Amino acid sequence: MLRRYGRVLALLALAVVQAAMAGLTGVMLLLSFALGMVFLFPPQVMMVRELAELNRKLVREWAGVGIDRPYLPPPPPPVPQADGMYRSERTLYKSPRVPAWNNRWKWLVSDPATWRDEAWLLLDPLVKVVLAPLLLLLPGRGLRVYGLWSKKLLDPTAASRLAGQVSHLQRTRNLAADSQAAEMRRIERDLHDGTQARLVAIGMTLGAVEQLVESDPKAAKALLAKARDASSETLTELRRVIRGIHPPVLAERGLADAVRALAMDSPLDVTVEVNLPHRPEAPVEAAVYFAVSELLSNAARHGDARTAAVDISTNGANLRVTVTDDGMGGADPAKGSGLTGIERRLAAFDGVLAVHSPPGGPTTVSMELPKVLPTSWTGASSRMPRWKTATVVLLWATAWCPTFPQGIVAGIFKIFGIEEKTWFLALHLPEPWQWPTITGMILVGVLMHVMAIRIPASHDRDKFMAEASPTKPWC
């Protein structure tokens, strides 16, 4: 209880700081737009955002009300044209400074969260004063009410959520495109340096055979044998390239058997544990397979490892993969050890990569791909929380009372002048209050029925949206 009172006093003290900040930022805002001192606007906005972010943090920790950052993604840095110049509107600049300033200005001015923050800073001290009695008498309830007010004004709007998701999808698409381009370059390099060179050599050998077949049959026969060996090596090379594109064992037998085949082909002593009730989708299988393949290859070539362990399991709708080896450690994605390519591959599924590789080892790489598994076989429950179920049951059990006996039936008695009042509440009230009470009872009953229907429907909608498009934070 003392802690809650301390938090309430801190919030009320913060209102004084907010009032002073509102005066300062108001002057800066006025100077920016009235006198053309536009250079004051960005720092003013960032000051208000820092204060709003502090309020979000306090509300989340003290009131248990989570508020996401609502701001639209910042604009990308200016990109030079072919002639090295930077364009902003219809003007060209030699330096990116002015285009970057213009883009930042438009970003701050056009973001609805900027003006919602300004409104919050202006109104929040007044709201705290109004809520002060509730905060002091019932601090727990008061903090909750204040948290809901803050969430109403500081939470992301639908537009900012959509913009954040679009920005995230654009970044993911770019990473996936980069990963695909790198993969195509690797395949092109393998074909050019390996298969193509071998085929050229075979062609030259057959040309020599054509010249020697009559003058030196013995030498021609030896060259044919050499061409046959080269064709066998070329076939092996082609099979390796094909496996690098999409291994047949992965398509035919699934992720578990494909990873076990990797373990058998690896020079390391690899143990594999796979706990998947069913096969994930093909793109997910391919991403995990090539990530595990790269990690085992790194452990053998760069880590000087002897043993490794692969564990693939589920965590609800998430797919979790852990690869551990006893190598010398020191793996770092920044050093270009293949981990960057794995990150790009996982980014297409919003996957995350965590590396723990101290000098001397062991190395543990954990990967998690969120919401890539169907909840129908992950064991995730679609039932509502108990408190929602209890609320719906209570609403259905009691909604009939205000709707019918206290509302509709009492109205019928009133219309036909039936003197029997029995237990109808409205009919025991003075005459001017009877019809308002009957109408209010009917409205309360209808609202209770609507809530009893809406709560399960809202739960199903939220569950579907969470499965269809996982939310991602943005700046």
Structure tokens at 280: 């994930």
pLDDT over 90, % of the chain: 13
299-303, 426-430, 437-441: which has the highest mean pLDDT? 437-441
Cis peptide preceding 456, ω within 30 of 0: no
| 285 Cβ contact partners less than 8 Å away, ≥ 6 residues apart | 250, 254, 255, 258, 279
- Quick one: pLDDT band at residue 381, thresholds 50, 70, 90? very low
Give yes or no for a contact between 138 and 8, defined as CB atoms under 8 angstroms apart: no
**pLDDT for the residue numbered 44:** 93
List pLDDT tens digits, range 214-236.
788 888 888 888 888 888 877 87
Q: Is a pLDDT exceeding 50 seen at residue 311? A: yes
Give the containing element (helix H, strand E) for 260: helix 248-265
Cα dihedral across residues 344, 346, 352, 355: positive or negative: negative
Q: Across residues 433-460, what is the average pLDDT?
A: 86
Q: What are phi and psi of 272, to 5 degrees?
A: -125, 130
Which amino acid appears at position 48 of this protein?
A: V
Give the containing element (helix H, strand E) for 319: strand 318-325
Give yes or no for a contact between 310 and 323, defined as CB atoms under 8 angstroms apart: yes
List pLDDT tens digits, range 382-402.
567 888 888 989 999 998 899
365 bridge partner residues: 323, 355
Instruction: Report d(CA 68, CA 75) in Å as an integer.
Output: 20
Instruction: Enumerate long-range contacts of 16-22, CB under 8 Å, 24 or more apart.
Output: 16/125, 18/51, 18/121, 18/124, 18/125, 19/125, 21/47, 21/48, 21/51, 21/121, 22/121, 22/122, 22/125
Cα dihedral across residues 403, 407, 410, 412: positive or negative: negative
Q: Is a pLDDT exceeding 80 seen at residue 308? A: yes
3-state secondary structure 70-85: CCCCCCCCCCCCCCCC
Q: What share of the chain is helix, strand, coil (3-state, %, to 5)?
A: 65, 10, 25
- Quick one: pLDDT band at residue 273, thresholds 50, 70, 90? very high
- Quick one: pLDDT band at residue 54, thresholds 50, 70, 90? very high
* Domain boundaries defined on the chain: 2-168, 172-245, 250-369, 386-468
Q: What are phi and psi of 155, to 5 degrees?
A: -75, 155
Q: Whose CA is closest to 175, among 286, 79, 167? A: 167
CB-facing half-sphere around the CA of 172: CA atoms within 13 A: 14
309 bridge partner residues: 271, 324
Least confident of 70-74, 271-275, 442-446: 70-74
Instruction: Report d(CA 454, CA 108) in Å as an integer.
Output: 37
Cis peptide preceding 133, ω within 30 of 0: no
Q: What are phi and psi of 353, to 5 degrees?
A: -125, 130
Give the containing element (helix H, strand E) for 180: helix 158-190
Which conformational region is residue 111 in: left (phi greater than 0), alpha (psi within -120 to 50 degrees), or beta?
A: beta
Query: What angle do helix axes 217-245 and 197-212 make, rounded to 10 degrees?
Result: 160
Structure tokens at 29: 């805002």
Instruction: Report d(CA 205, CA 133) in Å as an integer.
Output: 96
**pLDDT for the residue numbered 230:** 82
pTM: 0.48
Structure tokens at 390: 């209890």
Higher per-residue confidence, 260 vs 334: 260
Q: Is a pLDDT exceeding 50 seen at residue 472? A: no
- Quick one: pLDDT band at residue 469, thresholds 50, 70, 90? very low
List pLDDT tens digits, range 316-370.
888 999 999 998 888 777 665 578 778 878 877 888 888 888 888 888 999 998 8
- The chain-wide mean pLDDT, for the chain, equals 82
Instruction: Report d(CA 469, CA 314) in Å as an integer.
Output: 19
List pLDDT tens digits, range 89-135.
778 888 888 888 888 888 888 888 899 999 999 999 999 988 888 88
Which amino acid appears at position 147 of this protein?
A: G
Q: Across residues 421-443, what is the average pLDDT?
A: 87
Q: Is the CATH number 3.30.365.10 carried by domain 250-369? A: no
Q: What's the chain's length in residues?
A: 475
Instruction: Report d(CA 133, CA 147) in Å as an integer.
Output: 16
Q: Is a pLDDT exceeding 90 seen at residue 52? A: yes
**pLDDT for the residue numbered 290:** 86
Residue 426 exposed, middle or buried by CB count within 10 Å (0-12, 13-18, 19+): buried
Structure tokens at 158: 């639908």
Q: Output DSSP code: residue 428.
A: G
CB-facing half-sphere around the CA of 262: CA atoms within 13 A: 29
Q: Is a pLDDT exceeding 60 seen at residue 260? A: yes
CB-facing half-sphere around the CA of 291: CA atoms within 13 A: 34
Higher per-residue confidence, 375 vs 81: 81
β-pair type (318-325, 363-369):
antiparallel
Q: Is the CATH number 1.20.5 carried by domain 172-245? A: yes
**pLDDT for the residue numbered 398:** 92
250-369 has the same fold as 172-245 = no
**pLDDT for the residue numbered 379:** 47
List pLDDT tens digits, range 163-221.
666 766 666 666 666 666 666 776 777 677 777 777 888 888 888 888 887 788 888 88
